[in-house]
Structure 1
Amino acid sequence: MLHESKEVFVSWVNEIRFAGMASNKRKGLACAVLTLIATLALSSEASAAELPSAAIAAAVVDSSRPATDTVRDTNRKPADTLAFAGIKPGDKIADYAAGAGYFTRLFAAVAGAKGHVYASVPSSLFQYPNIVKGIAEVQTWAVTHPNVSVTFASALEAAKYPEKLDVFWISQNYHDLHDSFMGPVDMAAFNRTVYAALKPGGTYVVLDHVAAKGSPADVTDTLHRIEPSTVRREVEAAGFTFEGESAVLANPADPHTAGVFDPSIQGRTDQFILKFKRPR
């Protein structure tokens, strides 16, 4: 609406300025109103896109991050992603299905000594050697980082923690809870467990690969994608309120017809980030 108002006043000011049919007083008023609207529009746009905090910026440029992590930054845009999630010092964070710990390490750096990160590993993943290797790397790293705990349990138990959380994070794995890779899991029960794990006002963030609208249910297994609308429906059914969506990882050029590991699109998939809140 601000954008539309701005266009109207631009037209009005131009007519006044060039038609020579208005007094200087009216010209001044028109210009002042236009300036105000432009300022409000810019303010609205700035507030819609969260800016990375100093703690997030420092975590991303930390020289101790392994090259296997930093090489992925171009595609994962960690500063913008963590800023949208609202990660901050002192947070208690769950990194669900943490993999090799890419986000675990970033979260730990931002959360600091007063925060804590739980790198949660569903026990169903132990059958995959590459995942076991990544888990071992996270465990080794956590030994020297006391604000990190690596936990193992079944899919639903892995979403339970010894303290209430500020943030529950799941990246590129929500769809796997629907398929044979990590499930199928009772998603209503899973999201209720996440709800219970969070503090009132806590944040639930789901990052995943976009599936085409109207995709069949098995798209989670065949292409490893999921429709954002499916996630919203399931998460909101558990009592969460929708806070917003980030397009920072969007790729309009993705045809959504190839699996996420297909060389034609791997690392460049169209991805969504949805943010939900547990009501206070």
Structure 2
Amino acid sequence: MTLSQIFRPLAALSLGGLLLLGASAAGAAGQAPLAKEAVADPRRPDADKARDGDRKPDAMLDFARVQPGQTVIDYFPGRGYFTRLLSTAVGPQGAVYAAAPQLWIDRLKGKPLPPPVSAEAGRGNVHEVVAGASMNVPVKADLVWTSQNYHDIHIWGGAAGTAQLNKAAFDALRPGGYYIVLDHAGVAGLDDAGMAKLHRIDEALVKQEVLAAGFVLDGESQALRNPADDRTAQVFETGIRAHTDQFILRFRKP
């Protein structure tokens, strides 16, 4: 089942002649790195741009090693903040699959999902799918990306839910492909009740679960760390919202 069956989106327009800088040209005189080009995309909504200061998207795309022509899975894309960035970064020869978890759809109980990014002008390389035991993507991907949602899968489906997610990510990737997990950091040893209350997760638990799926840890980013966050507040509380201490892990499929 695809989300197009749920949304019945408008026909997406082609990216046409949009030109993106490749990694080899990133350092050329007068040219910005690929990630900065994606962030500067004038098609991005103002609501997305307003979040850039907190989400540091250029650093995120650099860390994920996104390149033109890649196939990327944006797992649990929400309203499409990273879907749009990834769409611009991979360009017209690439593809982005916005994969909504079946667990999430089940919890919505018939409520409408956010409008599909594929229906926006110039987003012809975006495709909505529903992910369950598999990512439901027809080709092997270069990158699986998930941002601030790994803990939700653990809350809703327990360890079995995240085990299914990690296996689906592993199976969806080509050898050498990357799996990026970005989430709100919880205190060491945070239990399931604390996870559900705070919407945080212990970074060590994420590493343990993802490594058990066959991945190797390839890198960690400090770009969204906030030492002032003691990790005990619920992530939606005034004052800490959008300023939580967040870990960013890059795993690789051998």
Structure 2 residue aligned with 1:19: none
Question: Which amino acid is the alignment partner of residue 225 of structure 2?
Answer: A
Structure 1 residue aligned with 2:126: 148
Aligned pairs (5 A) from 1:27-106: 54-106=33-85
Cα shift at 1:220: 2.1
The counterpart of 1:167, out of the listed 139, 143, 149, is 143
Cα shift at 1:125: 2.6
In 2, Cα distance between equivalents of 1:139 and 1:125: 19
1:108 aligns with 2:84: no
**3-state DSSP class of the match of 1:179?**
helix
The counterpart of 2:175, out of the listed 181, 200, 203, is 200
Task: Give the TM-score normalised by structure 1.
Answer: 0.74
Structure 2 residue aligned with 1:14: none
Structure 1 residue aligned with 2:100: 121
Cα shift at 1:132: 3.4
Cα shift at 1:194: 1.1
Cα shift at 1:166: 0.1
Question: Which amino acid is the alignment partner of residue 133 of structure 2?
Answer: L
In 2, Cα distance between equivalents of 1:133 and 1:197: 24
Choose between structure 1 and 2: higher helix proportion. Answer: 1
How many residue pairs were aligned?
Answer: 222
In 2, Cα distance between equivalents of 1:267 and 1:132: 25
In 1, Cα distance between equivalents of 2:196 and 2:168: 23
1:216 aligns with 2:216: no
Cα shift at 1:156: 2.6
In 2, Cα distance between equivalents of 1:230 and 1:53: 37
Bigger mean CA deviation after superposition, 77-86 or 211-220: 211-220
**3-state DSSP class of the match of 1:252?**
coil
Query: 1:162-221: CA deviations, max 9, x gaps?
Result: 0000000010000111113xx334332321221111000000000000001122232221
**3-state DSSP class of the match of 2:146?**
strand
Structure 2: gaps spanning 5 or more residues? 1-26
Kindly indicate whether structure 1 or structure 2 has the higher relative contact order, using CA contacts under 8 Å at least 6 residues apart. Answer: 2
In 2, Cα distance between equivalents of 1:234 and 1:225: 15
Structure 1 residue aligned with 2:227: 252
Structure 1: gaps spanning 5 or more residues? 1-50
For the pair shown, the structure with the greater C-alpha radius of gyration is: 1
Paired residues of 1:208 and 1:271 also in contact (CA < 8 A): yes
Paired residues of 2:118 and 2:126 also in contact (CA < 8 A): no
Task: Give the TM-score normalised by structure 2.
Answer: 0.82
Structure 2 residue aligned with 1:186: 161
In 1, Cα distance between equivalents of 2:161 and 2:116: 30
Question: Which amino acid is the alignment partner of residue 123 of structure 1?
Answer: Q
* Root-mean-square deviation over aligned CA pairs: 2.0
**3-state DSSP class of the match of 1:221?**
helix
Paired residues of 2:98 and 2:127 also in contact (CA < 8 A): yes
| Deviant stretches of 4+, over 6 Å | none
**3-state DSSP class of the match of 1:194?**
helix
Q: Percent identical across equivalent pairs?
A: 41
In 2, Cα distance between equivalents of 1:128 and 1:75: 27
Cα shift at 1:139: 4.4
Question: Which amino acid is the alignment partner of residue 156 of structure 1?
Answer: A
Q: 1:237 to 1:133 in 2, by over 3 A?
A: closer
**3-state DSSP class of the match of 1:120?**
strand
Paired residues of 1:53 and 1:83 also in contact (CA < 8 A): no
